[in-house]
Structure 1
Amino acid sequence: MTSLLPDRGTDRDAGPRACAGDGRSTASLGHDLRHRRPLILVAAIAGSVAAAATLVVCLAVGVTGWFLTDAGTHGAPRDGLRTGALAWLMAHGSGVRVDGVLVTAIPLGITAACAWAIWRTASRLGDSISGHGPDADGIADGQRDWTVPAASMIFIAAYLATAVFAGTLAGTPATAPDLGHVAMWSIALSGAFGIPAIAIGSGRAAVWSSWAPAGVISTLTVCRYVLTTWAWACAAFFVGALLLDFDTALNLLSQLGTDAAGTSLLLLVSALLIPNAMSFSGAYLLGPGFTVGVGTLVSPAQVTVGALPLFPLLAALPDPGPTPGWTLWLVAVPPAVAALGVARALRRRPTLRYDEGALFGCAGGMIAGVGFAVLAAVAGGRVGPGRMSDVGPLVGPVLVHAITAFGIGGLIGGLAITWWQRRATIRACEPPTETVEDTL
């Protein structure tokens, strides 16, 4: 962003930083060069690095797990590398076959790490190319600026090429990863997180946002705060449910009979699935619930489950059978969380009009409901044969309940925080009341 602003600094040194032939100091020239690196080259490298960063970590973990499981007595290191690569591909939407059984569940923990790597790398890319194209004044005057679109297209293409290349090398007829899904997820993931990061890093987002209506910015801010507040609520609910049945989780681990290395790998896999568990918790709190197998349902009103695999995170499931009466009151949590998120957002972008507070809160909450439903849609999938081919939130009902609950909660929260801000403003503007002692 700073590269779009005119340099008002002056060079007072007469030494090595003396002005160059055009009147600029060497420090200023160096600053310009750092922000005018070759766009095509830097964007291609950034896209490849964003993909390779998490891929290399998965490969390292795969080799480490292969060695720890049997001390390297079976197979070869390439088996561990292939396992790590397949886990990375699964995080990009690729189903794989394990012993002939298709597994389509996405480890959202790895996906979140990939999104973070994309954001960080794309932000640095944006800063590196921020000197390209017109400056802030030129953009304001209507000059065409293709810096962000061009860099984004090259960044996405490089990320996609790396993902397809990894899938081609790691895939075998037995595992059969779906490169079509990998390509679609790579484009969606690198575009959703890469384009905004490039725009922010290059300073264009600050210029463009100044043209956007204030209502749009406030609504998107509300949506972000509602989603983050909801994520913390889902995480707290899941951790609480797991701690209540922590003895069951330890019992499951003991029944598996794994050694220290196997237990460590199992805990790592469980940690990578925590975002999936949070999505399941959110679906439960909203009311529709989720399935853990064909013909099962886990919701505040009904818990019907059958035989389950020995997996520690499943200890957080409620006991099957009739549910306690208080669980039905859990459906009040989503509106309350949405109201809290709206209050947090509008404290940063205050408004004194009730209609604006209600509109921003309701619209932002409804958009957040759609966002959570999208996350719930990718949190489930096939995790095994037979009845375990249907595991995940009930997406359709979750969408309806999320839009309704977050919309109502956002409306209430918007009106409440607007009333509070109006009250505080009126109190601040009131003149101090004189008492008899003050007059005397």
Structure 2
Amino acid sequence: MTSLLTRPDHARADAARPRPLVLIATLGGVLAALGPLVVLAAVGIIGWFATDAGVHGAPRDGMRVGALVWLAGHGSGFTVLGARVTIVPLGVTAVAVWSMWRLGHRVGDSVSGHGPDADRISDGERDFTVPTAIALFFAGYAVVAVVVASLAAGATADPSVPRVLAWTFVLTALVAAPAIAVGSGRAAIWAAFTPPTVRAGAAVAGAVLSSFLVVSALVFLVSFALSFDEAATMTSRLHPSPSEAGLYALANAAFLPNAALFSGAWLLGPGFAVGGATLVSPGAVVLGPLPVVPLLAALPAAGTPAGWVGAAMVLPPLLSAVAAFRRLRRRTLPWDQVVLAGCGGGLVAGFGFALLAARAGGAAGPGRMRFVGPFVPDVLVHAVTACGVGALLGACAVVLLERRARPVRDTTAATTED
């Protein structure tokens, strides 16, 4: 009877044995790719049936459209009536990023038992668990991307496989790799060896960039809400059915992150273009004929904006100062490291926004619509300057408050001793 109540040693050994790293990481990459892909394929089938009740074509046509949208979210581009469209629906990319992070974190948690433990890593033992998992995750994701691109390719679409692989590599490096490192616990170990100034600067960069993106999105949403009647009029010109209107709204929603980045470029000053020889900035608005896209209703009227509109350019440095102040005021660092962390974090945040803005534009159609997006070189200069100077001012405010509070603490301590 005791043999039935006591677990055999080999069973305990099998339970303690970690699952294969190759299988976990590769399967994680495959599932991270398939999750959004299946959802978009389902939406494509629903859209195919909703538009003409399935009279024309077959369900696979709807699935193919969903696959092309998924590929477009990975920078593939596609061809419509002979015109190359390279603008990326960053809303689809955001869903892919979320899927990568969730699955990457789970992969990291599953492989945390592989490799040396924390004490052996601290002693300097090499640990290839996370790099191996990242490489296998990328391989699984890339295989799905190549297969989907091959199946969805055709004379009327022609997605670019090299661009998809390049985007997959970048997303893996920027999203999946940190998720696996955090989930496995290695990130916490590595962070312990990072200088405090670098950690503080990274916190400032994240706070400045996230706050600026949120405010940019809010500015666009307010502008769109004020022009909602015009957006509804644009949609009514197409005479869509209720189901078609819903699908069209969903397609526009895929470009909301692009619109938020356009808004951020406008707040910084350089602005953006919505076609060749156009300009949308706080100082001037030059427009031409525009496609019937409801999101474009948020554009300001052509001409010279009112003088008070230029005051919006104060927001980026002000937000940067507030974000840096909030991140640095509770950190016990010398004054020079506080200033360095604030300024460095602001510069990194400005550079990061410029990179995002560079991915927000592209060709949106033939002719003049081949030029849509922020003016990236000018945005880079303005973003680095505004965020860097603003974060520096926030760090200086922390130093000044600390120095002003120090005599009060010294006086209080002396009184207590007496």
TM-score range, shorter chain: over 0.9
Question: Which of 377, 380, 391 is the aligned partner of 1:396?
Answer: 377
Whole-angstrom CA distance in 2 between matches of 1:77 and 1:150: 39
| Structure 1 position 129 matched with structure 2 position 122 | no
Return the letter of the residue paired with 1:64. I
Aligned mates of 1:257, 1:47 — CA distance in 2:
42
Residue 417 of structure 1 is matched in structure 2 by 398
Superposed displacement of residue 330, structure 1: 1.5
Please show how residues 128-207 of structure 1 align to structure 2 within 5 Å: 128-207=110-189
Between the aligned residues of both structures, percent identity stands at 47
> The residue matched to 1:102 in structure 2 has which SS?
strand
**Cα separation, partners in 2 of 1:432 and 1:132, compared to 1, 3 Å:** closer
2:93 alignment partner AA:
T
- The separation in 1 between residues aligned to 2:268 and 2:378, in whole angstroms, is 9
Distance 1:18 1:416, change over 3 A: farther
Matching of residues 340-355 of structure 1 within 5 Å: 340-347=322-329, 350-351=331-332, 353-355=334-336
Question: What secondary structure sits across from 1:97 in the alignment?
Answer: strand
1:231 maps to what in 2?
Answer: 213
How far residue 429 of structure 1 moved from its aligned partner, in angstroms, is 5.7
Q: After TM superposition, give the deviation of residue 420 of structure 1 in Å.
A: 3.1
Deviation of residue 108 (structure 1)? Answer: 0.3
* 1:290 is aligned to 2:272: yes
What is the deviation of 1:431?
A: 2.5
**TM-score when scaled to structure 1?**
0.90
Please give the residue correspondences for 1:22-41 in structure 2 after superposition, counting only pairs within 5 Å: 30=15, 32-33=16-17, 36-41=18-23
Q: Is the 8 A contact 1:51 1:159 kept in 2?
A: yes
Q: How many residues align?
A: 414
SS in 2 for 1:256: coil
Superposition pairs for residues 253-402 of structure 1, below 5 Å? 253-347=235-329, 350-351=331-332, 353-402=334-383
Distance 2:405 2:105 in 1: 39
For residues 16 and 142 of structure 1, the distance between their equivalents in structure 2, rounded to whole angstroms, comes to: 44
Deviation at 1:344, TM superposition (A): 2.5
Give the distance between the partners of 2:199 and 2:31, measured in 1 at CA: 32
Taking a change above 3 Å as real, the CA distance of residues 219 and 71 of structure 1, as seen in their structure-2 partners, is same
Give, in angstroms, the shift of residue 20 of structure 1: 6.6
Describe the SS at the equivalent of 2:84.
Answer: strand
CA contact (8 A) 1:351 1:418 kept: no
Q: Is the 8 A contact 1:297 1:304 kept in 2?
A: yes
Q: Give the whole-Å Cα distance in 2 for the aligned partners of 1:130 and 1:201.
A: 7
Unmatched tracts of structure 1, length 5 or more: 1-13, 435-440
Q: Establish whether residue 45 from structure 1 lines up as the match of residue 24 from structure 2.
A: no
CA drift at 1:16: 9.7
Residue deviations 1:330-349, cap 9 Å, x none?
Answer: 111110011121122224x5
| Partners of 1:203 and 1:71 in 2: CA distance | 51
Q: Which amino acid aligns with 1:136?
A: A
- 8 Å contact 1:352–1:421 — kept in the other structure? no
The answer (yes or no) to whether the contact 2:112–2:184 under 8 Å persists in 1 is: yes
Aligned counterparts of 1:19 and 1:79: Cα–Cα separation in 2:
55
Distance 1:196 1:130 in 2: 14
- Paired with 1:310 and 1:324, the residues of 2 have a C-alpha distance of 26
Moved >6 Å (runs of 4+): 14-20
Flag the 1:354–1:143 CA change in 2: closer, same or farther, 3 A. closer
Whole-angstrom CA distance in 2 between matches of 1:17 and 1:66: 59
Q: 1:421 Cα deviation (Å)? A: 4.4
Q: In structure 1, what residue type is equivalent to 2:366?
A: P
- Is residue 387 of structure 2 the alignment partner of residue 406 of structure 1? yes
Q: Are the counterparts in 1 of residues 321 and 390 from structure 2 also a CA contact under 8 Å?
A: yes
The separation in 1 between residues aligned to 2:250 and 2:4, in whole angstroms, is 53
SS of structure 1 residue aligned to 2:209: helix
Structure 1 residue 55: Cα displacement: 0.8
Larger displacement relative to structure 2 (295-304 or 93-102) = 93-102
Q: Secondary structure at the match of 2:206?
A: helix
